[in-house]
Structures are given as C-alpha cells and as structure tokens.
A and B are shown apart, each in its own frame.
Chain A
Amino acid sequence: MNSPFIVSAILLIQNISLMFAPSQLETIYNQIIPSIALVQYSSEVTNQITGETSRRDGNALGLVVSPDGLVMVPGFVEVENVSSFNFRVRLNIKGEEKEFNAVKLRKPDDLNIMFLKINNDANIKFPFAQFVEDLPKVGSEIAMIGILGETVDYARCITTAHIGAILEKPRLTYCLDENVRLGFVGAPVINEQGNIIGVVGFDLSKAEGGEVYTRSGHPLLYQYALFKKYIQNPPAVQAQDDEQGAWLGVITQPLTDDFAEYWGLPKEGGLIVATIVNPSPASECGLRIGDIITNFNGVPIRAKYDSDVTSFTKLVREAGVGNSVKIEILRNKEPMTLTALLGTRPRRSSEAEEFEWEAVGLTVREITPDIRIALSIEDAVQGVLVYRVKSGSPAQVGRLARGFIIQAIGDLPTRSIDEFKTVVKMLQEKKPKEITFFAKIGNISGFFRVQPRWEE
C-alpha cells in the first residue's frame, strides 16, 4: 500500500509541480467514460410546511459499478422531502446512446449516495468502473469525470483537483480543494496512478450529521472503503428494511472540557445523558439524566464535540438488537456499571408509515420518536399526525390542517396508525354521512366535522 506514495513523493521532488500529463488524462477519459451514465428521473417534492406536493424532472451523473447494471448516483436524488421515480439511465455503448429503465434501491443511511439497478432482461454486460482501495494524501492531485449541461448534450468532461484537507472525525473525510459543478457530484475520482479510488461526494449523510448540522455543502471524496460493502452486497430494492439497528433511548451531549471542569471531572470526554426516552432500554437499565457515559460495550467514550455524539449513535446502532451491553458511567463523580438490554431502533420520520384516506382527502403519518422531538409532542399525546390535506377536499372544508394530531374519530381512539386504519376500514364499510375528528393543535384540542365523499 505504501509504495505508490513513495513513488509519488519522489515525483513531487523531481517535478516541482506534479500534474497529470495530458496524455494520461486522455487515456483515463477514454477508459472510464463508457461507465458514466446520464440518469434522468422525476421526483415528487413535498413542501414541508404546507404538505403540498409538486413534481419536477431531474438529472444526475450515474456511475455503472457492476457488469450487471448497478449504478451509483448522488444522494441528492432522494432526500427527506423528495421522492424520486421513473429512472432512465442513458449510456454510450460502443458509440451508440442507449437508454435503460432502472429501479432505485434503498438509500444507505451512512453515506450520501444511492444505487439504481438497471432492468437488465437482455443480460447485457455493462462497462463498469472498477475501484481500487487507496487513500490519497493531502495535496495530491486527482482527476474526475463528470457531465456537462444539456446545451452541450451532457458531454462527459474530465478535470482535476486536489485533496485539500483530510479530517479524522467523525470518520476519515477527504475534502476537495475547490467547488465542483452539480454534474460532477458522483463523478469517479482517479488518482495519479490511474486508479479509481472513489467518487465525488457532496454533503455528509444524515447519520453523519449532514442534513442536520451546518457541516455540509463542501465537495468531498468518498473513498472506496465507505461504499465497497454496497457494491459487493447491493441494498434491497426500495422497501421497508427491518435492519434498523439497536437502540438505547437517550439524548446525549458531549462532555466538553468546560463541563468537566465545572463538575470536577477529568477532561477526558464522555457523554452527558440529557434526556431519557421513557420507556426505553435506557430508562429500564437505571440510567439517569446527568449520568456521564464513559464506556459503552467495551468501547471508551471520549466525546468532547458534537460530532462525537453521532459516532456514539453509530456505536449503539451496531451493538446488536437484544444484546446486553455494559455501560460504564460516572454518577456524582463515582464510577458505576449498568447493563442495558438494547431494543430495536424506532422508525425515523423518513420511514414513518403514511396512510392516505381518499374519501376525506387526508394523509396521516405515524408519530415516530424523532417527529415527537421535532414537533415537541409530549409522550402523553397519542395519535396520528395530519401530514397532507388535499386542496378542496372534505378535510379542508372541515378545517383540518397539516400538523393537527388526530386522537379520535367519533368515539374511537386513533392512538396509532394501525388503530387509525382499523377505524377507517370500519367507516369505509358503514359510509356515514359525517365523521367527527378529535384533534390536537398546539396545546388545544377540538372537534372537527367532515363529510366524506364516498365512492359509489
């Protein structure tokens, strides 16, 4: 692994400015462009305030990564409020532009990329990009091949940049030294030896804190090691996947040096337990607000910064549902060990179950724990969240609006989406002329009469 770097270093000393030679770029370009696709798709965008949806068309760079047609695309193709569909992959095969349909696979949550699978009934062997696991050093030059805009017929384009910075936390992160155009997000990144070592990434994934914090918006190199597992073992076709990981049920803050000093603790980091979900494995194992987690399942916790909190989340997630883990804590400066039986991570808002009731023009969502936190819904409030009210629908006439929490229909409680569905099913059979919803808006509840439009 080390020898290429030694070679590079010698080159650096010999030629003051180390650069890809034009002929080298040409070779790389010709070798790689057959695996670069233009991906066109449609998406439905949900306005997060009104719940209204609109459609738009988009395109992105796709990189074919397996001979049977696995295509890697940037993560922006599908985000929290954007659902994409109708994927078409345009490839230039032996000088001829060809278009294939593709389906999306479940978006990984630890990296801001996505995969499509070309419907390959004809068993075509696609030209694909082969990656090499190699980590560049800061300052090294890289080449990347992206696509240009529509006016130049999405021409493939090669350019160079440098590794501008390398961060150690929260994971090994390679930053490029300049901005890239949208058509270069997802582009293969080639090192000086002509090996494809990764792709251009943009934004950290949500699990890495990307969509939550401000640490985003800079082009990165996603090294092969980060997504190797997905190429070897592609995610399932978009579907609910029960691999949600393990869950403890705490919200923590890093033990900064300031906190350590205040409490008279060693400045070694740790996680302050700030909120405990009740009930949860955390509440059941006796963890208390104010405890400081110093070791989880044998791994020392040395958190001092916000980014360390996400690493802890990852640690818990991977500790295995149903496993007993030892948690070492400090309580009033005294070390203690607790044993927690890890539960299954509850669904997140992006995976929340949705249900559309057409006769009323209403779409409701289950209230997942993260929705509860985001909207400050107390545990005592059980119901389903009004997510969308169709314009001109009976629900709108009845003055129901997005953000209401439906707690009952008539006398029947709708504490969960399943209860809601059961009630709806019953009403679909009875077809009453009128339905009364009991809903909570902020801290006040009220009744709302709705006249459904039953289909004959």
Chain B
Amino acid sequence: MKNIKVFKTIYPPFSFVLLCILSISGCTTLSSGGVLQSEILKAKAKVVPALVHLNPIKPVYTLGKKEEVIVIGSGFIISKDGYVVTNEHVVGESKKVKCILSDKREIEAEVIGTDPFTDIAVLKLPPQEKYAFVVMGNSDAVQTGEIVLAMGSPHGLARSVSMGIVSMTDRYLEDQRGVISVFNNFIQTDAAINQGNSGGPLVNLKGEVIGINSRMLLGAENVGFAIPINIAREVVEDIIKNKKVNRSWLGVNLQEMKAITEDTNKHGVVIADVEIDSPAYKVGIRSGDILTAVNEEPVHARFQEDLPLVRKKLSNLEVGKEVELTIIRGDKEEKVKLVPDVYSPYKGQEIEFAEWGFTASDITNEMMKRLRIPNKNGIYISGVQEGSIAKISGLLAGDVVLEIEGKSVKNLEEFMNIYKQTIDNGQPRVLLFVQRGVVTRYILVKNTKDDQSEIKVIDEGRSTTHE
C-alpha cells in the first residue's frame, strides 16, 4: 500500500510570514531573456489580474469545540461577473470570504457552494464593474514535461509566481483510510507549491489555467498536485447551477482489473465491495463481480488511475432512473437493472454542544466508510473537550450515541431536542447509551455546573472488561 502523506492545510503562522518578509533583503531585476522568458511573462500577465488572495474565517470543530480560524488561501476569477474558484478545504463552512484582488482591493465574496469530494469551492464577488478573469484550458491535452506556472499566496505571500514542469498528468492519490479523491486524478508538478497556494491556478505557457493547486507531498521537494481543470469545470458549473454537485449512488466500491489479473484482454472494472442495503446490494451484485458496461456503454479500468473516470460515469447517472449494468460473474455475463439513489454527503451536519463540551455530527454513508463508524443509527461524537462534563462522564470522541434518556436517537436534530430539554429543565443526570467499536455501554452525564463537589473523576470511561 502506498503511503502518500498528502498535506492539505494551509495556515502559515503569522510570525513566520513576518520573518520571511523581513528576511527578503531585496529583489533582483529580471533581465530580458529569450523566447521562453517572454512567454512566461505573457502567460503571467494573462492570469495575475484575476488572481485572488483569500482570507476566510472558517469554523472548525476541534477537540470538542467549535472555533473560528483565519485561513490563507488562493483563488482565481473565472468570469467577468465575478465567480471565484478555490479549494473546498480553504473556505470550509464559511459563508463569506474576504478576498484581496490583484489590485489590492479588499472585497467580500459570498460562498456559492462547495464540493468536498473534489475539493472545489465557488465564491461570488459582488456585481459591479467587470472583473478580470482567466481562460480555462484543456487539461486532457496537458503533457508531461510541459512548462507550467503556479500562482497564489504561498505562506501568505500574495501574488507569487513559481515555475516548473508537469511531472505526471494523471496521478492517483489514495491514503490508508481509503481513497480520498475518488472522482479525479491529479496533475503532478514540480513548480513550487506551498501552504497558502491552495486554490490557486496552475497555468500553461499560453496563459490558460489547466489545474487548481491543492496538495503537496509532505517531506518531499516540489511534489505538488493540481486538480485538472476539466474536472473542476464541470463541478464549478454544477455548483453555480445547483449550489452543490448532484451525484448518484449504486453502492459499489471499485478496484482496477490489475488487482485480479495480469490478462490485458479482460476488460471491465472489479467490484471490490458492495455497501449493505445499497441499490447494487439489493439486486444481488457482490464482491468479485466484474462490471463491463453501463447502459451498454463499456467501462474499463486496467490501472488505479483509470478508476476515477468510471466512478464519475456511475455518479453521473440520473437518480431514480433505471440503469442496466453488464456484470461478469465467473464465466457468465448477466444484465442487471437497478435504480440509482442519491450519493451520500461527504459528512453530516456538525454541532457543538457547549454545555457538556463536545461536538457531534450526523452520520452519512461516506463517514461510515471513512471513519469506520459501525452504525448509521445515532450521532457521531467528533470531539470531546478536556475537563468538560462530557469528558468527566466518560464520553469519548468516536463514540456513537444510540440513545438519550432511553429514547433512540436517529439524527442530530432528535438528539438536540432532548438535550436542550434536559439543559433547560436543569436535569441533574442524563443517561446515554453509546456504541464504542463493537461494544455498547451506558454513560451517565452529570449535568452539574455549579456544584463542584459533584464533579469527581471515578474510574468511569475505562472500565470495559471482556467477560
């Protein structure tokens, strides 16, 4: 298993930015070079006016608390009416984002929508005069070795340009918790990409944007990754139209053919796993089946990097409209009809419960896979504050609350209602029934703020013994 650590966050410490600025002693003037030099200058000139430095204040849920952090990222304007494209991980759940345009004007943009699956967000600047905007290129035509420029705000240093070449056109990235970018490969480049570059454009020498810089390999030198603009273009269009990306769900996890055979004549894609109770599961599709066609159109993934395209094809099916899959099981070919459902959101709504000191979220199918949550019922405890009532009572991050006060909890809203009642009524003890891995246990929350003597740590929270 490849263990690529992909670094995503982009918060340069403020003092570090200052230090860097202080240590820059002077700039050398560019001497005019040959053709390449002039091409670089031309390409840069086409994009820089549309470059945006982003300063979102984004809510994050960390260690059982909701906090706001100031983030630095990059983006670029794609239309004269002021749509801005950046990474989802830059804006997160912010509603408004402070943008600094290339002429140093500060303007607040509204977040139109985000897509965590592809890590893309679309913002909208207020309608006013025409904005300078970029031209999007064709990322399918990008070749390894092509010279590219990365633009953005590395470590907060706005309007920076760096240069390199395309190192690889279709890099498939995964991590050990399962695939993290299921619907796209990445353009790999050695143009310097640092924290703060996230959301900025990767530009070819024609001055066209061919990718969105979004990741880098931690501990490596100049191994950066950009989302291909052709993938981004579709997502951006969907977000502008629907505020989100609509995807359909069959419930199959795919693997490349190479995982089961060296025979290059065998076409299709391996069904590695079928999610319980999914549309595919209900019609009897099982691990080991090979999917060869969707509505008579052949699908094929020989290598891992061929998978995103197949996944995209499946997720583009229309929800509720019957589809025919061609499956090979053993030596037999079968046609199976099924109706795609709606794709699970990346994560559920998350809320801080300040009185007890924890955060929790609804559970989605996607979270069950990613976070190994055993149960879709209940709510997922995403964090517990040190020293809080929740912590002292023995609640742990990762627990799934199945019941509160003897009533089963289906979602965050139901939990919230009962929780609020107990707080309003000043109820001294509240009973939870939680699932922790494959074990269940009772937790009695001592809802006491004022009486310090009540808060005593007995050995609760570490007392399951296998009997």
Binding site for B on A (CB under 8 A): 209, 212-214, 247-254, 256, 258-259, 261-262, 272, 274-275, 289-290, 305-307, 309-310, 312-313, 316, 369-370, 372-373, 375-379, 399, 401, 434, 436, 438, 441-449
Partner of A438 from B262, B288, B368, B446 at Cβ < 8 Å:
B288
B272 touches A373 (CB 8 A): no
Q: Which residue of B lies closest to A369 (CB)?
A: B466
Cβ of B298 within 8 Å of any chain A Cβ, yes or no, is no
Instruction: Verify A249–B444 contact, CB threshold 8 A.
Output: no
Q: Which of B71-79, B96-104, B114-122, B456-464 is near enough to bind chain A?
A: B456-464
Taking a contact as CB atoms under 8 Å apart, the answer to whether B438 and A256 are in contact is: no
Q: Is the CB of A258 within 8 A of B446?
A: yes
Whether A444 lies near B178 (C-beta < 8 A) is yes
State which residues 225-251 of B face A: CB under 8 Å: none
B451 to chain A, nearest CB (A): 13
Per the bound structure, the CA–CA distance linking A309 and B463 in Å amounts to 8
Chain B residues contacting A256 (CB-CB under 8 Å) are: 444, 458, 460
Evaluate whether A370 and B466 lie within 8 angstroms (CB atoms) in the complex, with A262-B431, A447-B272 already known: yes
| 8 further interface pairs, Cβ-Cβ under 8 Å (given A213-B462, A442-B178, A445-B272) | A256-B460, A275-B439, A370-B466, A373-B438, A443-B372, A444-B272, A446-B253, A449-B260
* Contact of B110 with A by CB under 8 A: no
Interchain CB contact under 8 A, B438 and A442:
no
How far apart are the CA atoms of A80 and B288 in the complex, in Å? 37
Q: Which of A248, A290, A376, A399 contacts B374, CB < 8 Å?
A: A376
- Determine whether the beta carbon of A313 is less than 8 Å from that of B467: yes
Q: Which residue of A lies closest to B406 (CB)?
A: A290
B255, chain A: closest CB distance, angstroms: 5
For B446, the chain A residues whose CB sits under 8 A away are 258
A257 to B162 Cα, complex, angstroms: 66
Closest B-chain residue to A274, C-beta based?
A: B441
What 1/0 flags go to B423-467 for Cβ under 8 Å of A? 000000101000001111110101000000000001110111111
Q: How far is the CA of A307 from the CA of B177 in the complex (A)?
A: 36
Tell whether B107 is near chain A: CB-to-CB under 8 Å: no
B20 at interface, CB cutoff 8 A: no
Q: Which listed residue, B176, B272, B465, touches A309 by the CB 8 Å rule?
A: B465
B273 within 8 A of A: yes
Known contacts: A253-B442, A253-B464, A312-B467. The answer to whether A447 contacts B270 by CB under 8 A is yes
Closest to A263 in B: B431
Which listed residue (A247, A275, A401, A445) contacts B1, Cβ 8 A? A401
Q: What 0/1 pattern do residues 253 to 291 of B give for CB contact below 8 A with A?
A: 101001111100000001011000000000000011000
Q: Are A442 and B273 in contact (CB under 8 A)?
A: no
Most buried by B among A213, A248, A272, A443: A443
B335 contacts the other chain (CB 8 A)? no
Contact with B467, one of A249, A262, A379, A449 (Cβ below 8 angstroms): A249
Residues of A within 8 A of B437 (CB): 373, 375-376
Interface secondary structure of A, over-half rule: mixed
User: Do B463 and A254 touch across chains, with their CB atoms under 8 A apart?
Assistant: yes
Given A373-B439, A438-B288, A258-B429 contact (CB < 8 Å): yes
Residue of chain B at shortest CB distance from A252:
B467
Are the CB atoms of B372 and A378 closer together than 8 Å? no
Q: How distant is the Cα of A256 from the Cα of B443 in the complex, in angstroms? A: 11
Which size bracket describes the interface of B in this complex? 35 or more
- Alpha-carbon distance between A262 and B273 when the two chains are bound, in angstroms: 44
Contact of B369 with A by CB under 8 A = yes
Report B's interface with A, CB cutoff 8 A.
Answer: 1, 176-178, 253, 255, 258-262, 270, 272-273, 287-288, 368-369, 372, 374, 429, 431, 437-442, 444, 446, 458-460, 462-467
Distance of A274 Cα from B431 Cα, bound (Å): 13
Q: Is the CB of B369 within 8 A of A274?
A: no
Say which residue of B287, B372, B374, B459 sits within 8 Å of A306 (CB atoms). Answer: B459
Specify the chain B residue showing the minimal Cβ separation from A400. B1
A274, A438, A441: the one within 8 Å of B464 (CB) = A274
Whether A261 and B439, one on each chain, are in contact in the complex, defined by CB atoms closer than 8 angstroms, is no
- Give the chain B neighbours of A250 by CB distance below 8 A: 467
Contact between A445 and B260 (Cβ–Cβ < 8 Å)? no
What are 16 of the A-B contact pairs (CB < 8 Å)? A212-B465, A247-B467, A251-B464, A251-B466, A252-B467, A275-B440, A369-B466, A373-B439, A376-B437, A377-B438, A378-B438, A379-B438, A434-B262, A438-B287, A444-B253, A446-B253
Residue of A nearest to B431 (CB): A262
- Return A324 CB to nearest CB of chain B, in Å: 18
For B262, list chain A residues within 8 Å (CB).
434, 449
Q: Which 7 A-B pairs have the closest CB atoms?
A: A376-B437, A306-B463, A445-B273, A306-B459, A274-B441, A446-B272, A447-B259
Contact present for B466 and A258 (CB under 8 Å): no
Q: How far is the CA of A237 from the CA of B287 in the complex (A)?
A: 46
> In the complex, which residues of chain A have a beta carbon less than 8 angstroms from the beta carbon of B255?
446-447
The answer to whether B467 and A443 touch across the interface, beta carbons within 8 angstroms, is: no
Question: Within the complex, which residue of B253, B259, B372 is in contact with A449, where a contact is CB–CB below 8 Å?
Answer: B259
Cβ contact of A446, chosen from B259, B372, B439, cutoff 8 A: B259
- Of chain B, the residue at the smallest CB distance from A313 is B467
* A445 pairs with B467, CB closer than 8 A: no
Q: B residues within 8 A CB of A249?
A: 467
Given contacts A258-B446, A259-B442, A438-B287, contact A248 B462 (CB under 8 A): no
Contacts of A372 in B (CB 8 A): 438
